[in-house]
Amino acid sequence: MNFVNLFRIALKALGNNKTRGFLTMLGIIIGVAAVITMLAIGQGSKKSIQSEISEMGSNMIMVMPGGDRRGGVRSSGSDMESLKLKDYEDIRDNASYISYISPLVQSSGQAIYGAANTPTSIYGVNSDYLEIRRYKVSDGDFFSDQDIRTAAKVCVVGKTVLDELFPDDPNPVGKVFRFGSIPFRIIGILESKGYNSMGMDQDDLIIAPYTTIQKRVLAITHIQQIVCSALSEEYTDQAIAEIRQVLTANHKIKEGDEEDFNIRAQEEMSTMMTSVTDLLTILLAAVAGISLLVGGIGIMNIMFVSVTERTREIGLRMSIGAKGRDILAQFLIESILISVTGGLIGVVFGIAAAYLVQLLADYPIAIQAWTVILAFAVCTVTGVFFGWYPARKASNLDPIEALRYE
Amino acid sequence: MKEVIRLENIRRHFIVGEEVVKALRGVSFTIEEGEFVTIMGTSGSGKSTLLNTLGCLDTPTSGEYYLDGVSVRTMDRNQRATLRNRKIGFIFQNYNLLAKTTAIENVELPLLYNPRYNARQRREMAVSALQSVGLGDRLQHRSNQMSGGQMQRVAIARALVNNPAVILADEATGNLDSRTSFEILVLFQRLHAEGRTIIFVTHNPDIARYSSRNITLRDGRITADTRNGQILDAQEALAALPAQND
Ligand SMILES: Nc1ncnc2c1ncn2[C@@H]1O[C@H](COP(=O)(O)OP(=O)(O)OP(=O)(O)O)[C@@H](O)[C@H]1O
Ligand SMILES: [Mg+2]
């Protein structure tokens, strides 16, 4: 018996019982649709978090003073003055896995322009900082090396600060405002980055030459942080090793001694966040998978009913020459047909539902080919798996008894 | 004449709990091509068991069975299925048509299990089988839209379509009124005249008078095996029946 004939027989059997076939399918439709929607939501969260992290610079490395706190009571890291400009220069000159590097000193305070004022932070950095944090200057210019050498009182400003200080001025480049008591001239405006996934406003900042902040704002000679970019995310570990090498030498830290600095990579953060969203995805998929399983059991149940109900038909088919394997194939194809058709409909509904979630709840979704293929494959396997047992039962019937079945 | 069926000392024992039911206790006979054999006997005498054996649905406990010269006893399930498909046409008391299925699809069914025929050939063969039983104008009728007599004709067409070596009928007229029974009997006689080999199990002693040979069973043994010298014509009997008044 060829496949086309078996297919036709199975199709006809389903056609004879449309309502039942559809209801059985419904389990699979819901299961597959749930799997696809849930995975789309899970993957969507993952992608949006990933893109935000890479927006922040997934290859970013931060070096901070302080070390392991387990040693006992210590002054807090930021109070320590262990990071020097020389550390920054040595890393800059010796590291080969680092593409951008900037010292960082930071101060919080009021920015004041006329009657307007707003609390914000000012960051003292060099021009690499833009690349490291993926900021762009949209209007005006960034400060020059000359400005750094002369500790010029110039700055570039984020949009949030501008909106507070110059609510009516479309182009405040060239204006002078005060940060605390120090006057700063605006020479550039940062392109807006909005909020990050942790809800921090990335436009609420002022960037100035680090020398200016060191000398005129904080009156310090050390630096608070070194931020840099590894060549790419994969080279983060090598870059960290290089930084550690320079710092242990500079700070004369002996083998086995505690380090007086702290290196943190953005990459760790991104791995952590993705592992959280991966877990979310798995949980969602598991719940959806269970509904697919229930759908599969529904198929098995109906196939059993169908086999029992059609015992006489099976007996007749056998008496006119159907082999056990023909009967097996017939019922197997029938259950696969149910699950595959249900699967296809489920795919359509799942994708539609995912887009609906995006549209109505404004939630990021990502439908990936592999999730659709997976859901569909699981569905076909479900059909075979749950169709097998009833089909096997049908194929093992004795033709005489089957014919006599009332 | 060519020998179609040869039974040698066939026994069939069923084990029911502790007891052994001996449905057939050593049955031997041969049937030649073109015979119309009726098998009679009281209820429980083993007629259906014998027919199932002849139809390769059942394997005897002992004894040899040759169908068209081939020994059936040593065949496995699949081989017997193929043999049924090519050599045997079954007709049942309760027709056993597929529900909600057209006459033509029902008749095509045995051919579906034979890879030799393509869709067009299947259709042609089914149509000609249906025409030969007088249902050329009912090809697309579904099984639930037909009378008992029509359904049995479809079943006969289905049994003919694979051009079998032998047609086996178990109480083929048992569910029909006497007029329709005679109509079916006319059909069987025509098939007999065309040279088909037919084995017809029946309770009705009258039917034996229209066949060429009659075998009587009792308690799983053959008690009589007679050839009918004077075969009655079912067509005449049908004409003699009082006209239907409706
Ligand atoms: N599968 C079986 N298991 C046990 N006993 C069986 C089985 N099939 C038939 N028998 C027994 O074998 C004997 C013959 O049965 P069979 O059906 O051949 O009779 P029959 O002549 O066809 O009767 P009827 O005219 O009522 O159809 C009976 O005693 C029956 O109980
Ligand atoms: Mg019987």
Looking at residue B161, its pLDDT comes to 95
Least confident segment among A11-15, B22-26, B57-61, B197-201 = A11-15
Helix (H) or strand (E) holding B241: none
Which residue's CA is the closest to the ligand 1 atom numbered 1?
B14
Which residues 46-105 on chain A approach chain B with CB closer than 8 angstroms?
none
Q: Are B98 and A313 a contacting pair at CB < 8 A?
A: yes
Ligand 1 contacts CB of residue B49 (under 6 A) = yes
Enumerate the domain spans of chain A.
3-52+272-404, 97-228
Looking at residue A133, its pLDDT comes to 85
Q: Are B92 and A318 a contacting pair at CB < 8 A?
A: no
Say whether residue A11 is in contact with chain B using an 8 A CB cutoff: no
Considering only CB atoms, A322 lies closest to which of B81, B96, B101, namely B81
CA of B46 to the centre of ligand 2 (A): 7
Looking at residue A322, its pLDDT comes to 93
pLDDT in tens, A275-322: 887 888 888 888 878 888 888 888 888 888 989 999 999 999 999 999
Within 10 angstroms of residue B124's Cβ, the number of other Cβ atoms is 11
Interface of B with A (CB under 8 A): 52, 55, 57-58, 77-78, 81-82, 84-86, 90, 92, 96, 98-101, 109-110, 112-115, 158, 162
Looking at residue A142, its pLDDT comes to 92
The residue of chain B nearest to residue A400, with distances taken between CA atoms, is B57
Give A344's pLDDT tier (boundaries 50, 70, 90). Answer: very high
ipTM given for this complex: 0.93
What is the average pLDDT score of chain A? Answer: 86
Ligand 1 contacts CB of residue B175 (under 6 A) = no
CA of B90 to the centre of ligand 2 (A): 14
pLDDT greater than 70 at residue A198? no
Q: Spell out the SS3 assignment of A159-206.
A: HHHHHHHCCCCCCCCCCEEEECCEEEEEEEEECCCCECCCCCECCCCE
Distances (CA, A) of A392 to A326, A332, A405, B87, B182: 11, 9, 18, 27, 42
Least confident segment among A7-21, A134-148, A204-218, A331-345 = A7-21
Looking at residue A44, its pLDDT comes to 86
pLDDT greater than 50 at residue A10? yes
Cα A158 from Cα B69, distance rounded (Å): 100
Give A66's pLDDT tier (boundaries 50, 70, 90). Answer: confident
Which residues 323-352 on chain A approach chain B with CB closer than 8 angstroms?
323-326
Looking at residue A71, its pLDDT comes to 47
Give A193's pLDDT tier (boundaries 50, 70, 90). Answer: confident
What is the average pLDDT score of chain B? Answer: 93
Instruction: Check if the beta carbon of residue B86 is closer than 8 Å to that of residue B97.
Output: no
Which residue's CA is the closest to the ligand 1 atom numbered 10?
B23
Query: Hey, CA dihedral for B211, B217, B221, B224, is it positive or negative?
Result: negative
Give A254's pLDDT tier (boundaries 50, 70, 90). Answer: confident
Say whether residue A312 is in contact with chain B using an 8 A CB cutoff: yes
Return the C-alpha torsion angle B68, B73, B76, B80, nearest 10.
Answer: 30
pLDDT greater than 70 at residue B213? yes
The residue of chain B nearest to residue A17, with distances taken between CA atoms, is B100
pTM of the model: 0.72
pLDDT greater than 50 at residue A70? no
Determine the average pLDDT of the residues in B50-74.
93
Instruction: Check if the beta carbon of residue B168 is closer than 8 Å to that of residue B53.
Output: no
Looking at residue A76, its pLDDT comes to 53
Q: Are B78 and A324 a contacting pair at CB < 8 A?
A: yes
User: Which fold does the domain B34-61+77-240 belong to in CATH?
Assistant: Rossmann fold (3.40.50)
